[in-house]
Amino acid sequence: MTGSHAKRTFKYRFYPTAAQAAELSRTFGCVRKVYNLALQARTEAWTLRSERINYNATSAMLTAWKKSKEFAFLNDVSSVPLQQCLRHLQAAFAGFFARRARYPRFKSKKQSRRSAEYTTSGFRFRHGELTLAKMSEPLDIVWSRPLPEDAAPSTVTVSQDAAGRWFVSLLIEDPSVKPLPQTDAAVGVDVGLDHLLTLSTGEKISNPRHERKDRARLALAQRRLAKKEKGSANRAKAGRRVAKIHARIADRRRDHLHKLSTRLVRENQTLVIEDLAVRNMVKNRRLARAISDAAWSTFRNMLEYKAEWYGRELITVDRFFPSSRLCSNCGSLRQRMPLNVRTWTCDCGTTHDRDVNAAKNLKAAGLAVSVCGAGVRPQRRTPGGQSAVKQKAL
């Protein structure tokens, strides 16, 4: 980042008192209600009158709802998260009209994320203690890592996951996030299932398969959940057990990907990856579970924002580039190469490991584009992570 400090989210677990938990649960419910009311109003205005309603109009509606008897309970919680959810709805519609996202959906009590966002007028952060609006006591936060010196959060988001754990996320400008010293190192990264990553250096990083390790525990917990009576307290308890296993899997996966992505960004000036259509790939029923567990999209997202933070270049090569079938030594192209072929010998006499060869070709293709803009229909990622001009094949 140049010019200003990067904004980072620092997420911590906290343990609310009974009164704080009740207040936050009420806030979550009110946020969900206001979001759904505003979405319904905007949808009806468009379908019935072809009229677009913006944030200002829904904000005025919120004031009217608070004055009505039916929705007077909205006055019992802080108004800041309610206004923020209207801003989130505005952003969702902006994404839809720009064709970046689907039409906004109604929030469900059971399925949707339980969260509330507070801006600076909705919280007080002093001497390492965070107190939210409508609360008299600060939150009991486990400060698992230090905040930047003189940290001043611009927004605070409180959430509760399906396992019942409470989290608080603070958005803060971090002066420690700045471009790293320039280096000549570049690496091609090929993702897979047998090995999570194969690098152009020849290094292979094993796939931890976090979901597979806990699959037996997860299946047992899900069977027990299925036997519980719907709506009962025992079913809710069994549901939390299932959610805790899912959370354990997701936490370990995220931690592993963070360590890998940080290491690659710190060690290399240029990183080249393949632009995979993961959404289409998971439609393969035999591979969907393994692909989801590998979390290739999450890994790519991490590389994107960390490359932006630290002044690195991330290049994505078009998914139709034949990285596996192209000899990285002589450049000849094989017509076919089934997935079960893991090693092959080119006519030039070079024997290739399929994945290492693909990573080498990705690196060469990315560097060619970086230097002269030639060749293999790659697409460079802009700082915001959006695709820029896609080069045409020669």
The 10s digit of each residue's pLDDT in 264-280 is 999 999 999 988 878 77
In whole angstroms, give the CA distance from residue 96 to residue 388.
20
pLDDT tens digits, one per residue of 45-84: 988 888 888 999 999 999 999 999 999 999 999 999 999 9
In whole angstroms, give the CA distance from residue 367 to residue 358.
14
Q: What pLDDT, on the 0 to 100 scale, is given for residue 52?
A: 86
In this model, does residue 381 exceed pLDDT 50?
no
Mean of the pLDDT values across residues 250-256?
A: 94
Q: What pLDDT, on the 0 to 100 scale, is given for residue 49?
A: 86
Q: State the number of CA atoms in the 13 A half-sphere of 45 facing the CB.
A: 13
Name the residue among 285, 284, 217 with its Cα closest to residue 247. Answer: 217
Q: What pLDDT, on the 0 to 100 scale, is given for residue 380?
A: 42
In whole angstroms, give the CA distance from residue 389 to residue 368.
15
Q: What pLDDT, on the 0 to 100 scale, is given for residue 259?
A: 95
Q: What pLDDT, on the 0 to 100 scale, is given for residue 372?
A: 59
H or E segment and range at residue 278? helix 278-281
pLDDT tens digits, one per residue of 4-18: 567 899 999 999 999
Task: Flag the least confident range among 134-138, 216-220, 357-361.
Answer: 357-361
Beta-bridged to residue 7, according to DSSP, are 173
The DSSP call for residue 110 is: T
State the fold for domain 186-390: Nucleotidyltransferase; domain 5 (3.30.420)
In this model, does residue 87 exceed pLDDT 60?
yes
pLDDT, the chain, mean: 87
**Residue 258, Cβ neighbours under 10 Å: how many?**
14
What is the sign of the dihedral through the CA atoms of 141, 142, 144 and 146?
A: positive
Task: Flag the least confident range among 149-158, 305-314, 318-327.
Answer: 318-327
| Residues noted as catalytic | 190, 274, 355
Mean of the pLDDT values across residues 124-151?
A: 92
Query: Which among 135-139, 293-297, 339-343 has the top mean pLDDT?
Result: 135-139
Q: What pLDDT, on the 0 to 100 scale, is given for residue 373?
A: 53
In whole angstroms, give the CA distance from residue 147 to residue 101.
33
166 three-class SS: strand
Q: Which amino acid is at 235?
A: R
Domain-wise residue ranges, the chain: 6-174, 186-390
Radius of gyration of the chain (CA): 25
In this model, does residue 184 exceed pLDDT 80?
yes
* pLDDT confidence tier of residue 370, bands split at 50, 70 and 90: low
In this model, does residue 235 exceed pLDDT 90?
yes
In this model, does residue 41 exceed pLDDT 70?
yes
Q: What pLDDT, on the 0 to 100 scale, is given for residue 353?
A: 83
In this model, does residue 394 exceed pLDDT 60?
no
In this model, does residue 120 exceed pLDDT 70?
yes
In whole angstroms, give the CA distance from residue 296 to residue 323.
17
Mean of the pLDDT values across residues 254-264?
A: 95
Break the chain down into helix, strand, coil percent, rounded to 5.
45, 20, 35
Q: State the number of CA atoms in the 13 A half-sphere of 106 facing the CB.
A: 10
Mean of the pLDDT values across residues 150-158?
A: 93
In whole angstroms, give the CA distance from residue 187 to residue 23.
50
Quick check: pTM over 0.85? Answer: no
In this model, does residue 390 exceed pLDDT 60?
no
Contact 221, 238 (CB under 8 A): yes
Q: What is the largest CA-CA distance in the chain?
A: 82
